[in-house]
Structure 1
Amino acid sequence: MRTAYRALASLIALAVVLQIAAIALAGFTTAADAEDGVTIGADYTNFGQSYHSIAGTAIGLIALIFLIVSFLTDVPKGRLLAGAVAGLVVLQFVLAVVSFGIPALGLLHGINGLAIAGVAGAASRRASAPVVASA
């Protein structure tokens, strides 16, 4: 189960990196489309935006599975780290929804995404550490 825990944690961290790349793609695509005369309105979307939305939902599902797996493994502080990842992912969804009404909160959405990647990376490293035998 340590391997599954480590794989899920690493997958979450990698997925967040892809999220960052996707939203950058979305921004540059929007700018290029606007420059080309495309009308940017409520119905406008591009691949980066769509990917970011769909992958965000997938990260939520992976975080839930990660939390469940954390109860089946012996990773030190594994449950705490998985719980932190799950909590940060819930916060990420809330920030995403609220940021449409208060765009400045989008800054917190971005920072929180980095926190998710950092905590998931720490969880992966902790699962990679050698098991210490207890007395």
Structure 2
Amino acid sequence: MRTAYRIIAMLIPIFVLVQLTVIAGAWFLVLNDLDSGSVLDKNTVDNWAHVVHSQVGMIVIPLLGLSLLIVSFFARVPGGIKWAAITLGVIFLQVFLAFAGFAAPLVGLLHGLNAAAVAAVAEVAARKAKVTTTAPAQPAVVA
């Protein structure tokens, strides 16, 4: 279970990087469409990268955070439950900031900043599950 905890915790920052990548691509696609004469308004259909960003952010990452918390109860990682709960908390904050950003666009800045917090606390959780493989030092034998 410790390995499962560590893998789930490591997947969260990876998916945060996916989020960063596809949202950048999404907005470059929008800019390209605008340069081609398209109009961007509330009737505009989302591009594929916006869809991927939404699905990963609203489904994949929250499910990973919830899975991490569930596994943390069985993994026997020192501080594992605490770090899994913190990770899930900043993930929920991230989803809240995404919705709040539509009503108050400056909140979008916090959404971007909190993405770094999601990745950071998940990385801390993953490091807590690291298994040390070094054997304890053997006492010196005096001849």
Q: With structure 1 as the length reference, what TM-score do the two structures score?
A: 0.93
Amino acid at match of 1:53: S
* Distance in 2 (alpha carbons) for counterparts of 1:71 and 1:113: 25
Q: Which consecutive residues of structure 1, in runs of 5 or more, have no partner in the other structure?
A: none
Deviations 1:79-128 (A, max 9, x none): 11100110001101110111001000000001111100011111112211
Deviation at 1:129, TM superposition (A): 3.8
Aligned partner of 1:109 in structure 2 is 111
- Rg comparison, structure with higher value: 2
Query: How large is the RMSD of aligned CA atoms in angstroms?
Result: 1.4
* Distance in 2 (alpha carbons) for counterparts of 1:98 and 1:131: 45
Aligned partner of 1:55 in structure 2 is 56
Q: Secondary structure at the match of 1:91?
A: helix
Amino acid at match of 1:85: T
Judging by fraction of residues, say which structure has more helix.
Answer: 1
Deviation at 1:131, TM superposition (A): 7.8
Deviations 1:1-26 (A, max 9, x none): 01000010011110001001111111
Aligned partner of 1:10 in structure 2 is 10
Identical-pair percentage:
40
Amino acid at match of 1:119: V
* Distance in 2 (alpha carbons) for counterparts of 1:75 and 1:43: 48
Quick check: 1:22 aligned with 2:13?
no
Amino acid at match of 1:120: A
Residue number among 120, 123, 134 corresponding to 2:122 in the alignment: 120
Amino acid at match of 1:64: L
Divergent runs of 4+, >3 A:
none
Amino acid at match of 1:29: L
Aligned partner of 2:76 in structure 1 is 74
Aligned partner of 2:40 in structure 1 is 40
* Distance in 2 (alpha carbons) for counterparts of 1:97 and 1:46: 19
Q: With structure 2 as the length reference, what TM-score do the two structures score?
A: 0.88
Aligned length: 132
